[in-house]
Amino acid sequence: MIGEKAGPRGVTLLELLVAMILLVLISTMLYSVLNAGIGFSRKGEDKLHRVERDRSLLDLLHRQVHGAWYDMSLKKVRLVAEGDYLQLVTTAPLLNRDAGLVLALYFYEPAEDTLYYMEKRDFYNPDYEKDYRPDRSEMEVLMKDVGGISWVFDNDRGLLQVVYGGEDYSLTARCWRPEKQ
């Protein structure tokens, strides 16, 4: 082929196929990296949300226990804590902020893993003594997927022991007074 001009050579089908395969491989790797990053980000956000929610609950409990009311006639803090049930008269209401003193009631339902909450403005009502348990249908859902919570109040030391999320917390009632022997 002497005398023929050498012109621009076209792209062969094989070269086009190799380029497409490389593009697909690079796209797949980028997608995998981005998808993993999104997954880690979502897990991090979920963890932060859980920590924030736990802290909010513990802050609420701390405020309410710290603001618990000392009943002079009974000579003790108006606080009852038994396993999945907590009842206290407090100056730190969650729902009725203008009420002053309220009876705050917590109930944990392990079967549903749900924490219920209720406030009563008429805390002085004799019906709300130690054995009072409100109907759960009257209470509001405070938290779902709690992961377990229980309370024990040590009246001798004025400490509310809270076991929440596998951790132990001790909250002190500011008004607690040791009983005189």
Give the percent of the chain with pLDDT over 70: 92
**Model's pTM, two decimal places?**
0.75
Whether 13 is in a domain gets the answer no
Note the pLDDT of residue 6. 64
What's the mean pLDDT when you consider all of the chain? 87
| Residue that wins the pLDDT comparison between 128 and 93 | 93
User: Residue 134 to residues 110, 111, 130, 141, 181: CA-CA distances in angstroms?
Assistant: 17, 18, 12, 13, 35
CA distance 169 to 152: 11
CA distance 31 to 40: 14
Note the pLDDT of residue 106. 95
Whether 33 is in a domain gets the answer no
Residue 173 pLDDT greater than 90, yes or no: no
Whether 179 is in a domain gets the answer no
Whether 65 is in a domain gets the answer yes
Whether 24 is in a domain gets the answer no
- Give residue-wise pLDDT tens across range 119-142: 998 888 888 877 788 888 899 999
Q: Considering its fold, how many domains does the chain have in total?
A: 1
Note the pLDDT of residue 72. 83
Whether 133 is in a domain gets the answer yes
Whether 15 is in a domain gets the answer no
Sign of CA dihedral 52, 150, 103, 142: positive
Give the percent of the chain with pLDDT over 90: 50
Whether 79 is in a domain gets the answer yes
CA distance 53 to 78: 27
CA distance 89 to 71: 9
Note the pLDDT of residue 86. 94
Under a CB-based contact definition with an 8 Å cutoff, are residues 124 and 103 in contact? no
List all residues 6 or more positions away from 179 whose beta carbon is below 8 Å from its beta carbon. Answer: 75, 76, 156
The domain containing residue 73 runs over which residues? 52-172
Residue 5 pLDDT greater than 80, yes or no: no
Q: CB atoms < 10 A from the CB of 170, how many?
A: 11
- Give residue-wise pLDDT tens across range 152-165: 998 888 889 999 98
